[in-house]
Amino acid sequence: MSGTKKETGFTFTIDGIEVTAYAGQTIMEAADEAGVYIPRLCDHEGLRHQGSCRVCTVKAGGRSVAACTQPAAPGQAVENETPHLTKMRRDLVEMLFHEGNHLCPICEASGNCELQAMAYRLDMTEATKFPYLEPCRALDASHPDIALDTNRCISCGRCIRASQDVDGKGIFGYVGRGIHRRVAVNGENLADTDAEVTDHAISAEVCPVGCIIRKRVGFAVPIGEREFDKGLIGHDIEEKRK
Amino acid sequence: MSELPKARIATASLAGCFGCHMAILDIDERLIDLMKLVDVDRSPLTDKKRFTQRCDIGIIEGGCCNEENVHVLHDFRRNCDVLIALGQCAIMGGLPAMRNAIMHSDAPLRECLDEAYITGKYIRNTTHNVPNDPALPLLLDEVYPCSQVVEIDYQIPGCAPTGDIIFDTLSKLLTGKFRGFERDMIKFD
Which DSSP string do the residues of A44-97 spell out, in sequence order? Answer: -TTS-----S-TTEEEETTEEEETTTSBP-TT-EEE-S-HHHHHHHHHHHHHHH
pLDDT digits (tens, 9 = 90+) for A124-140: 999 988 889 988 888 99
pLDDT at residue A3, rounded to an integer = 45
Residues 6+ apart with CB under 8 A from B80: B10, B54, B55, B56, B57, B58
Of B85, B97, B105, the CB nearest to A136: B105
Residue A116: half-sphere exposure toward Cβ, Cα within 13 Å: 29
Of B85, B152, B188, the CB nearest to A104: B188
Q: Which residues of B touch A128 (CB under 8 A)?
A: 91-92, 145, 147-148
Q: B142 CB near a chain A CB, below 8 Å?
A: yes
Q: How many CB atoms lie within 10 A of CB B83?
A: 25
pLDDT digits (tens, 9 = 90+) for A211-240: 999 999 988 999 989 999 999 999 999 998
Under the banding of pLDDT at 50, 70 and 90, the label for residue B30 is: very high
pTM exceeds 0.80 for this model: yes
Q: B153 CB near a chain A CB, below 8 Å?
A: yes
CB–CB contacts below 8 A, A to B? 82
**More reliable by pLDDT, B69 or B4:** B69
Distance to chain A for B157, nearest Cα, Å? 7
Residue A120 φ/ψ, nearest 5 degrees: -65, -45
ipTM (interface predicted TM): 0.91
